[in-house]
Chain A
Amino acid sequence: MVTRSRRFGVLRALVVLVLVAVVGFPLYWMVTTATRRNQEIFAGDAPLVPDPARLGELFSGLGPMLDWLANSAFVAFGTTLLSLLMAVLAAYALSRYRFRGRGVFGFALFATQMLPEALIVVPLYAIFLVLGLLNDLGGLVLANTAFAMPVAVWILKSAIDRIPVEIEESARVDGCPRYAVLPQVVLPLVMPSVAAAAVISFFDGWNEFLFANTFMVDKEKWPASKGLASYVGEFVTPLGTVMSAALVFTLPAIVFFLLVQRRIVSGLTSGSVKG
């Protein structure tokens, strides 16, 4: 019995190792390529490990990427602010009140997850053309918020659902005015979920490609997603530089997602369980 379970443990360790190696490889390969020069990369017997001497200068010489990252940061911050502002209020109402239209609103939030951006990109293009929002980073904020905000609502609603209403009632008895209950009593209790909603909204704006690719014309106004995508099939920029750029674009997302992943997952699933 003991030997059997030990053999099982060894087997499990082997499977985990293989899985980690296979899943981790693309990221490892991105780092490795980022530290290598074109002559090495395309030589056919290119080294399979990063060049430690060049790890330090990984993020130098990124060219236009720095401007593009700044544009992405602008879009991402705008998307976060706008979607959190609406999501906090909507999530609170969904969690605390039974009102007519509640079910329809909940379904509309879910429906955004199945709406193909490719279908609404043309009508949005037409609307933005009239409003002068094409080729404008503000327009991207507006478009991205439509997809980020519903997810933020789910995350916040499932967090507020877990706060007992009695806490609010006793705060009211202690003289807390009605309008202050949400910002002063409820919000501080759900801060971790607010952070999770902020992260997912931020990276919705940071990662978004289709709207950015369609709406933004001027190269200096491109967000990094469009800028990076312009390297696909382009052979002028050294591949090492392209991979460094992809890496700078990726690292912040990995760090923040790892910090808040659990709450994002529970928010997304609860949104589709309760509708």
Chain B
Amino acid sequence: MIENPGAARRLPYLFVGGAAVYLVLLTAAPLLNGLWLSVTDAQLLNPTGGSFIGFQHYARLFGDPGFYHSLYVTLVYTAAVVAGSLLLGTVAAVLLNRSFPGRTAARTVLTMPWAVPTVAVSLIFVWIYNNDSGVLNRLVRALGFDAQGWLTDTSWALVAVTAASVWKVFPFVMLVVLAALQSVPDELYESSRVDGADALNTFRQIVFPYLLPMLRVAALLMTIWSLRRFDIVWLLTQGGPVEATNTVVISVYRESFINSDLGLSAAIGAVGLVLSTVVTVAHFALERRSKESEAW
């Protein structure tokens, strides 16, 4: 083949170029601009008119109990959504892995929430959680308990928002685990049965090692998606009642668009981004270590 080596070397850059420039313009540049805003006193009405004020916003944040509260809410929400969706998703996948009559129908129903647009999810759950006529309180009353303010009571709001979020995202974990389960060779099951292992032992010793890498990936995606999730929380509670569901991302939005303090908002956002970065770096470090130990 006659090739021009210079042109061949340029080719991949030509292919990647469009996407790379696009990402620089629409994500990297705004991100850097956001980080810059965090050290200025910019206000919403004049987003480019801020002047440099150093790290005042950060100093203020780290002396503010409200900020620590929103970090705490974010971590609790994220941990609960990750744990809930991994548990529910894995259980659902294990149940669906063997064939039984109606399996396709069950799988279809269990996959659906993932496809439902978040705004629609929020409308449904606002209605289900409704204090007076919501179906959840009807159930609670029918069982003989008192109706609860699922979204208006500080002790329930985070639970209610978490439940709605888990409902929406667990199918993703289910599909990931199901795909991993179907890659477990049948011989492994059989040999373990011949050895006389019961179902639980088979799962622990044969299946789980197969699932682990995929579970880790699912956990990573669930974590970083939960850390940045905005719409479902905003639409269900707007961060309330009394900050009970005020995650970092919600306070970023509130500071910008309600209090017009772009600088402070950007500083909160920067701290939030550090959180996700730490999680991601930890994941890849763990993955590298487990790969190295396999190589041994």
Contact = CB atoms under 8 A, between A and B. Distances in A.
Interface residues of B, number: 97
Interface stretch (A52-60, A187-195, A248-256): A248-256
Interface residues of A, number: 97
Interface in B91-119: 91-92, 95-96, 98, 100, 102, 106, 108-119
Interface in A76-104: 85-87, 89-90, 92-94, 96-97, 99, 101-102
Query: Looking at chain A's contact residues, is the secondary structure mostly helix, strand, loop, or mixed?
Result: helix
Contacts of B13: 93, 99, 101
B135 interface: yes
Given A115-B228, A119-B269, A23 B113 contact: yes
A149 B95 contact: no
A6 interface: no
Given A90-B19, A249-B117, A254-B112, A118 B230 contact: yes
B83 interface: no
Contacts of B179: 262, 265-266
A118 B252 contact: yes
Contacts of B230: 116-118, 209-210
B25 to A, nearest CB: 9
Contact of A242 (B121, B123, B287): B123
B266 A93 contact: no
Interface of A: 8-9, 12-13, 15-16, 19-20, 23-24, 26-27, 29-30, 33, 41-42, 44, 46, 48, 85-87, 89-90, 92-94, 96-97, 99, 101-102, 105, 108-127, 129, 142-143, 145-146, 149-150, 153, 172, 203, 206-207, 209-210, 214, 224-225, 228-229, 231-233, 239, 242-243, 246-247, 249-250, 253-254, 256-258, 261-262, 265-266, 268-269, 272-273, 275
Interface of B: 1, 9, 11-16, 18-20, 22-23, 26-31, 33-34, 37, 44, 47-48, 91-92, 95-96, 98, 100, 102, 106, 108-128, 132-133, 135, 138, 167, 172, 175-176, 179, 199, 213-214, 217-218, 220-221, 224-225, 227-228, 230-231, 235, 248-250, 252-253, 256-257, 262, 265-266, 269-270, 272-273, 276-277, 279-280, 284, 287
